[in-house]
Chains A and B, each alone.
Chain A
Amino acid sequence: MRHVAKLMVASAFTALMATTAMAQTPKDTVVMAKQIDDIITLDPAEAFEFSGVEVGANVYDKLIGVDLAKNNDLVGELAEKWTVSEDNLTYTFKLRPGVKFHSGNALTAADVVYSFQRAVTLNKSPGFILTQFGLTKENVLEKVKATDDNTVVVTVSKPFAPTFFLNCLTSGVASVVDSKLVKANEKDGDFGNAWLKLNSAGSGAYKVRAYRPNEQYALDANETWYKGAPKNKRVIVRHVAEPASQRLLLEKGDIDMARNLSKDQLAAVKEKSDIQIVQGDKGYILYLGLNQKNANLNKPEVREALKWLVDYQSIERNIVEGTYKHHESFLPKGFLGAIDEKPYKFDPAKAKELLAKAGLPNGFTVTMDVRSVAPITDIAQAIQSSWGQAGIKLELIPGDGKQTLTKYRARTHDIYIGQWGPDYLDPHTNAETFAINENNGEDAKSKTLAWRNAWDIPDMTKVAQAAVLETDASKRKATYESLQREHQKVSPFVIMFQQVEVTAERKNVKGWVIGPSSDTNFYWPIAKN
Chain B
Amino acid sequence: MASSRDTWAGKSGRWGKIAGRELSTVAITMFGLLLVTFLIARVMPIDPVLAVVGDRAPADVYDKARLDLGLDKPLWQQFGIYIGKVFTGDLGRSVLTSNTVVDDIKTVFPATLELATLGTLIGIMLGVPLGIVAAVHQGRWPDQIARVIGLIGYSIPVFWLGLMGLLLFYAKLGWVSGPGRISVAYQDFVTPITGVIMLDAAMQGEWDAFWDAFSHLILPASVLGLLSVAYISRMTRSFMINELQQQYVIAARVKGVSEWQVIWGHALRNAVVPLVTVIALSYMHLLEGSVLTETIFAWPGLGRYITNSLLNADMNAVLGGTLVVGAVFIGVNLFSDIIGRLADPRAR
Identity of the chain B residue whose Cβ is nearest the Cβ of A12 in the assembled complex: B214
Question: Do the beta carbons of B107 and A212 come within 8 Å of each other?
Answer: yes
A25 to B53, CA, bound (A): 37
Q: Within 8 Å of chain B (Cβ to Cβ): is A26?
A: yes
Closest to B211 in A: A15
User: 1/0 per residue B84-117: CB within 8 Å of A?
Assistant: 0000000000111111000010010000000000
Q: Does A365 contact B (CB under 8 A)?
A: no
Whether the pair A40, B298 counts as a contact (CB closer than 8 A) is: no
Q: Provided the pairs A49-B54, A239-B300, A401-B311 are in contact, do residues A124 and B61 lie with their beta carbons within 8 angstroms?
A: yes
The answer to the question of B212 belonging to the interface, with a C-beta cut-off of 8 Å to chain A, is yes
Instruction: Give the CA-CA distance A198 to B212 in the complex, in Å.
Output: 28
In contact, B179 and A31 (Cβ under 8 angstroms): no
- Asked whether A23 is an interface residue with its Cβ less than 8 Å from the other chain, the reply is yes
Contacts of A414 in B (CB 8 A): none
Q: Does B199 contact A (CB under 8 A)?
A: no
Does A214 lie within 8 Å of B296, measured CB to CB?
Answer: no
- The 8 Å CB contact of A48, one of B56, B97, B179, B308, is B56
Asked if residues B308 and A245 are in contact (CB atoms below 8 Å), the reply is no
Complex interface: chain A residues within 8 A of B298 (CB): 33, 238-242, 245
Residue from B51, B163, B215, B308 within 8 A of A19 (CB atoms): B215
Question: In the complex, how many residue pairs between chain A and chain B have their CB atoms under 8 Å apart?
Answer: 162
When A29-B184, A198-B99 are in contact, do A406 and B47 touch as well, CB less than 8 Å? yes
Chain B residue nearest in CB terms to A14: B211
| Residues in A neighbouring B170, C-beta threshold 8 A | 248, 252
Within 8 A of B (CB), among A426-469: 445-447
Q: What's the Cα separation between A248 and B230 when bound, in Å?
A: 28
Q: Which residues of A contact B174 (CB under 8 A)?
A: 20, 23, 252
Contact B46 A406 (CB under 8 A): yes
Q: Is B312 an interface residue (CB 8 A)?
A: yes
On chain A, the residues within 8 Å of B59 by CB distance are: 445-447
Q: Are A31 and B184 in contact (CB under 8 A)?
A: yes
Closest chain-A Cβ to B205's Cβ sits at a distance in Å of 15
**Are A423 and B177 interface neighbours, CB within 8 A?**
no
Rounded to whole angstroms, the CA-CA distance of A215 and B103 in the bound complex is 14
- Chain B: number of interface residues, binned into ranges: 35 or more
Question: Which residue of chain B is the closest to A41 with respect to CB atoms?
Answer: B98
Instruction: Check B96 against A252 for contact (C-beta < 8 Å).
Output: no
* A213 lies within 8 A of B61 (CB): no
Given known A213-B97, A245-B297, A248-B166, contact A125–B211 (CB-CB < 8 A): no
* In the complex, A18 has a CB within 8 A of chain B: yes
Contact: A402 with B50, CB < 8 Å? yes
Could you tell me if A214 and B45 are in contact, using CB atoms closer than 8 angstroms? no
CB proximity to B under 8 Å, residues A214-260: 214-215, 218, 236, 238-242, 244-245, 248-249, 251-252, 254
Query: Quick one: which of A98-136 are within 8 Å of B by CB?
Result: 123-128, 131
**B187 touching A236, Cβ below 8 Å:** yes
Q: Is the CB of A18 within 8 A of B46?
A: no
Contact with A along B193-230 (1 / 0, CB 8 A): 00000000000000010011011001000000000000
**Nearest Cβ on chain A to B135's Cβ, whole angstroms:** 24
The residue from B58, B166, B183, B300 contacting A215, defined by CB atoms under 8 A apart: B300
Q: Which of A15, A124, A248, A405 contacts B171 (CB 8 A)?
A: A248
Residue from A25, A126, A244 within 8 A of B296 (CB atoms): A244
- The answer to whether B178 and A254 have CB atoms under 8 Å apart is yes
B108 — nearest CB in chain A belongs to which residue?
A: A214
- The answer on a CB contact under 8 Å between A241 and B295 is yes
Q: Identify which of A37, A126, A238 contacts B180 (C-beta below 8 A).
A: A238
Contact bitstring B37-68, A, C-beta under 8 A = 1, else 0: 00000001111001101111111110000000
- Cα distance, A215 to B94, chains bound together (Å): 15
Q: Which of B60, B187, B311 contacts A123 (CB 8 A)?
A: B60
Cross-chain contact A248 with B211 (CB below 8 angstroms): no
Among the listed A37, A125, A241, A400, which residue makes an inter-chain contact with B61, where contact means beta carbons less than 8 Å apart? A125
Question: Is A409 an interface residue, CB under 8 A from the partner?
Answer: yes
Q: Inside 8 A of B188's CB, which chain A residues have their CB?
A: 210
Q: Is B185 an interface residue (CB 8 A)?
A: yes
Q: Is the CB of B300 within 8 A of A236?
A: no
Residue of B nearest to A18 (CB): B211
- Asked if A240 and B98 make an inter-chain contact with CB atoms under 8 angstroms apart, the answer reads no
Would you call A403 an interface residue if the criterion is a C-beta within 8 Å of the partner chain's C-beta atoms?
Answer: yes
Structural contact, A37 and B187, CB atoms closer than 8 A: no
Within 9-41 of A, Cβ neighbours of B (below 8 Å) are at 12, 15-20, 22-23, 25-26, 29, 31, 33, 37, 40-41
Contacts A16-B175, A41-B98; A406 near B45 (Cβ below 8 A): yes
Q: Which residues of B contact A31 (CB under 8 A)?
A: 184
Set of chain B residues within 8 Å of A49, measured between Cβ atoms: 54
Q: With A22-B183, A23-B174, A29-B184 in contact, is A214–B46 under 8 Å at CB?
A: no
- A249 touching B211 by the CB < 8 A rule? no
A244 to B165, CA, bound (A): 12
B183 touching A19 by the CB < 8 A rule?
A: yes
* B178 pairs with A402, CB closer than 8 A: no
Chain B residues positioned under 8 Å from A26 (CB to CB): 184-185
Partner of A23 from the list B183, B208, B304, B311 (CB cut-off 8 Å) is: B183
Known: A128-B58, A214-B304. A254 touches B171 (CB 8 A): no
Contact of A127 with B178 in the complex, beta carbons under 8 Å:
no
A403 touches B45 (CB 8 A): yes
1/0 contact string of A130-168 vs chain B (CB within 8 Å): 010000000000000000000000000000000000000
Closest CB in chain B relative to A405 CB, distance in Å: 6
A197 within 8 A of B: yes
Encode A390-409 as 1/0 by CB contact (under 8 A) with B.
00000000001111011101
| Bound Cα distance A197, B99 (Å) | 9
Cα-based distance from A99 to B56 in the complex (angstroms): 33
Supposing A40-B96, A241-B298 touch, asked if A409 and B177 sit within 8 A by C-beta, the answer is: no
* Nearest Cβ on chain A to B197's Cβ, whole angstroms: 12
Least distance between A25 CB and chain B CB atoms (Å)? 6
- Contact B56 A20, beta carbon cutoff 8 Å: no
CB-CB under 8 A from A212, the residues of chain B are 107, 300
Provide the residues of chain B in CB contact with A252, threshold 8 Å. 170-171, 174, 178
Q: Which residues of A contact B95 (CB under 8 A)?
A: 40
Known: A406-B45, A445-B59. A15 touches B184 (CB 8 A): no
Q: B231: which A residues are within 8 A, CB to CB?
A: none
Cβ of A405: which chain B residues have Cβ within 8 Å of it?
A: 47, 50, 55
Give the complex CA separation of A267 and B235 in angstroms: 45
Q: Does B313 reach chain A (CB closer than 8 Å)?
A: yes
B53 touches A124 (CB 8 A): yes
- Enumerate 18 A-B pairs (CB-CB under 8 Å) in ascending A order: A15-B214, A20-B176, A23-B178, A33-B298, A40-B51, A48-B56, A123-B58, A125-B54, A126-B56, A213-B96, A242-B298, A245-B178, A245-B179, A245-B297, A248-B167, A252-B178, A400-B311, A409-B47
Residues of B within 8 A of A (CB): 44-47, 50-51, 53-61, 94-99, 104, 107, 163, 166-167, 170-171, 174-180, 183-185, 187-188, 208, 211-212, 214-215, 218, 295-298, 300, 304-305, 308, 311-313
**Which A-B residue pairs are the 3 nearest by beta carbons?**
A213-B97, A15-B211, A197-B98
